Amino acid sequence: DSSGSSWMRHIRRAQQFFGLVYYQTSQAVPELQPTGSSPDSAQFGRPMSDLPSWLLPRLEGTGVFDAPAGAPGGVNQVQGNEYLEDSGIGLHVEDPAAGESLATLSLLQPIQLTLQRAINRRPMHKDDRDREDCLKVLLEPRSLFVLQGDSRHNFAHAIRQSRLVHLRDGASLRRGKDYRRVSLTFRSIVEGQRAAERKDMPEGYTAFELPRRDRGAPRSDDG
């Protein structure tokens, strides 16, 4: 939200990118899914230098990534997401292009994430899914959530759209009109593995579009 902020509102959640632009679950939106032939202005979002100077060094100190930001194996994308009211993210497994590890920093308001078993690195079909066979993780403000190894490849994750967020002290937070959460997800994108179609769709699934709230124009959404 600082000077130069550039939230894009092509899907239900507003987004902005630092470094490479690549969003795995909305390939029908060219602004979020540039190709190798796209101009540099489309390939890259805001410069990494726009981030607070302490942020990437603190992340590198966790050892999640193999190299410093900008180096091979280091962070080359920071994706900002804005969640208002009851918005969330549908169940998915991270694209192979997202690298071996990713980390998400949560800000402002808490939310719950779910982890469910994946089959062949794809979410289970909804008809086969046991909704009770999942782990709910509370993502609190200023917490860092890391996916790597089994949790990265063999589990699908989602951000819940429930109006109630159950907190660690037993209380609940209701997501109303004033609810706002911002997350920063750090990835080491493998540029050569970026794809023009989703790699994690369960067999028989197809992408869908939801109408925009403004004037009824179509808008892609991943849930």
90-121: pLDDT as tens digits: 878 888 888 889 999 999 999 999 888 887 77
| 60 domain residue, yes or no | yes
Give the domain CATH number at 84: 2.60.120.1520
| 114 domain residue, yes or no | yes
Cβ 109 vs Cβ 86: under 8 Å? no
| 3 domain residue, yes or no | no
Higher pLDDT, 200 or 45: 45
| 171 domain residue, yes or no | yes
Name the band, by pLDDT with cuts 50, 70 and 90, for residue 43. Answer: confident
Does the pTM of the predicted model rise above 0.75? yes
